[in-house]
Structure 1
Amino acid sequence: MRVELSEVTLDVEVSGEGPAVLLVHGFPDSHHLWRHQVAALNAAGFRTVAPTLRGFGASDRPEGGPEAYHPGKHVGDLVELLARLDLDRVHLVGHDWGSGIAQGLTQFFPDKVRSLSVLSVGHLASIRSAGWEQKQRSWYMLLFQLAGVAEDWLTRDDFANLRDMLGEHPDAEAVIEQLRAPGALTAALDIYRAGLPAEVQFDPEAPAVPLPESVPVMGVWSTGDRFLTERSMSGTGEYVSGSWRYERVEDAGHWLQLDQPEKVNELLLSFLKENS
C-alpha cells in the first residue's frame, strides 16, 4: 500500500493482526527484505508494518541532497507512519541502517517502543570502539561519502563492484535492478553522507547516547558478516540502560534474515513474546 506522509509517500506492507511489529530495512534494500519474518510473525499473532524507506525501492525520492535523507528524516517518517496507522506502541526491528534508524526512534520516542531488536548493526559508539578490524571493514563508508566517485565506482561495468560488495545477498540482482532507476543509487547513498560523515564515524569524543532503560534490547549478529565484527554488536550492551540480550547466528552473512530465516524468526518470536 502507498501511505502519504507530510514530505513523502512510502511503499508499505501491512499485514496480520495483533501487537504491531515495525520492521525497518537498511542499505540497499526495501521492505521485501522482511518477507520471511512477515509470514512467521503474522502466523504467530503479530501485525507487521514493513515500510520501504524514503529514497529506496518504490518509495519517494525527494530532492534536496543528502540532508533530505538524514537519519532524523527517516525517524520522522516512521513516527508519522505510526500515527497514520493509529499505532501507539510497537515492537521495533531494524537491520543495517534500519538498526541505526530504529535506535534513533527509540532514543527520542521511547514511549512508542515496546522492544528493540537490532540486527547486524549495533550502537554507533560500540562500532567506533570495536578496534582496527572494524575500521578496516568499514572502508566503504568513506568511499560512499564521495558524491559522484562512489556512484561511478559502484555502477562501473554494469554494477560489477556493487555486485561484488553484495556478494552473498540472496536478492542481489533484484536490488541492483531497483538501483538502475534515475537518482536511486544517489538517494540510497545519501543516508551515509548525511548520517555518517567521516567526523561522525571516527570521532572518539562524540557523545554516546545510551538506549533508554524502559526499552528491552536484543542484538543479533551473524558469523559470516563481512562488514561488522562481533565486538561491534556484543559491545552494544554497554550502551543499553535496560535489559540486554545478545544472540549470534551461525552460517549466515550480513543478510541473516534471508540466509537463516527460521533461526532469525525463532529469536524474534522468543524476544517479542517475552516483552509483549
Structure 2
Amino acid sequence: MRIEVNGIALEVQVSGEGPAVMLVHGFPDTHACWRHQVAALNAAGYQTIAPDLRGFGASDKPEDLESYKIAAYAGDLIGILDQFGIDRVHLVGHDWGSALAQLVAIMAPGRVIDLACLSVGHRGAMLSAGWEQREKSWYMLLFQFQGTAEQWLTQHDFSNMRQMLTEHPDRDEVIERMRDPRALSAALAIYRKGVPPEWLLNGDAILPPISVPTMGVWSSGDRFLTERSMTGTEEHVAAPWRYERLDGIGHWMQLEAPGKVTDLLLDFLASAEAQAG
C-alpha cells in the first residue's frame, strides 16, 4: 500500500498479525529483499512492516537532494509507526537500513523494543575499525560525485554495478530498476547526505550510544564491511548486546542465507518477548 508520510508517498508492505516487526532495507534494495523473513515472521505470529525508503522502489523520489537528509529517512520510519498506531516495535535493518534503524532507536528509544543490525554496525564502530574498513568503503567517496558516479555505474550496460553486486541474488532486478536515471540518483542520495566526505575523513558527529537490546550480525563473505566494524558496536550499546557471525555468506545475508538469518531473528525476538512477558 502507499501511505503519505512527511509530505511524500511511501510504498509499505504490511502483513500478518501480532507484535510488530519493522524491516528496513538498504542500498540498492526495496522491501522485497525481506520476502523470506516476512513469510517466516508472519507464520510465527508477528506482524511485519516493510517499507520502500524514500528514493527507492515504488516510494517517491524527490528531486531536491536536501530531501534525503538522514534524519528524514528516520522520520519516515517513525511516521509509518504513527500511521499504523504502533507504539513499540522490533526493529530490523540491513546495510543502510541498519544505520537508519539505529538512528530511530537513538532518537526514539521508547518506541523500540529491540534492534537487529545486519551487516552495518554503529557509526562509531565503523570509524574506529581502521584502515581495512576505509579501503572497503572506497565507493562511498565515488558516490559523492553527482553525474560521475551515475556514469561509472551505468557505462557498458552497468558493468561496474554488476561487478559490485556480483553475489546479490536479485542483481538483474536491481539493474533493471536502476535503468531509470532518476531511480539511480535517488538511491545514491542516501550516500550523498549520509556520509559526506568530511565525515569519512575526520569522523565528526559520532552518534550517541544505543539504549535498547541489540543484536549485530556480520557475514564473513561481506566485501564491503569488516568484522571489527560490527563487533566494535558493542562499545556503543548501553544495553544487552549479542553478536552472531555467519561464515561463508556475502553481504546480502537475508537473501543468500534466508533460513539462517530468519532463525537468528526469531530467536532474538522470542528472547525479547519472553523478557517482556
Q: 1:114 and 1:27 mapped to 2: Cα distance?
A: 25
Q: 2:227 and 2:271 mapped to 1: Cα distance?
A: 24
Aligned residues: 273
- Structure 1, unmatched stretches of 5+, are none
Q: Aligned with 1:175: secondary structure?
A: helix
User: Would the aligned equivalents of 2:123 and 2:206 in 1 still touch at CA under 8 Å?
Assistant: no
Q: 1:105 and 1:157 mapped to 2: Cα distance?
A: 39
| 1:238 alignment partner, one of 235, 238, 244 | 235
Deviations 1:50-108 (A, max 9, x none): 0000100111101212x211111111111111111111110000000001110110000
Is 2:261 the counterpart of 1:250? Answer: no
- Structure 2, unmatched stretches of 5+, are none
Is 2:263 the counterpart of 1:266? Answer: yes
Deviations 1:122-161 (A, max 9, x none): 0011011111111110000000001111000000011110
Q: Aligned with 1:10: secondary structure?
A: strand
- How many angstroms does 1:205 deviate by? 5.0
- Structure 1 segments of 4 or more deviating over 6 A? none
Q: 1:128 and 1:137 mapped to 2: Cα distance?
A: 12
Q: 1:44 and 1:226 mapped to 2: Cα distance?
A: 32
Which amino acid in the other structure matches residue 124 of structure 1? R
| 1:219 alignment partner, one of 216, 219, 228 | 216
Is 2:96 the counterpart of 1:119? Answer: no
- How many angstroms does 1:200 deviate by? 1.2
Which amino acid in the other structure matches residue 45 of structure 2? G
User: Would the aligned equivalents of 2:2 and 2:12 in 1 still touch at CA under 8 Å?
Assistant: yes
Q: 2:50 and 2:56 mapped to 1: Cα distance?
A: 13
Deviations 1:179-216 (A, max 9, x none): 1124111110011011100111232454341112xx10
Q: Aligned with 2:37: secondary structure?
A: helix
Q: TM-score, normalised by structure 2?
A: 0.97
Is 2:72 the counterpart of 1:73? Answer: yes
Q: 2:205 and 2:79 mapped to 1: Cα distance?
A: 29
User: Would the aligned equivalents of 1:221 and 1:249 in 2 still touch at CA under 8 Å?
Assistant: yes
Deviations 1:156-175 (A, max 9, x none): 01111001001100000101
Q: Aligned with 1:17: secondary structure?
A: coil
Which residue does the alignment assign to 1:189? 188
User: Would the aligned equivalents of 1:128 and 1:202 in 2 still touch at CA under 8 Å?
Assistant: no
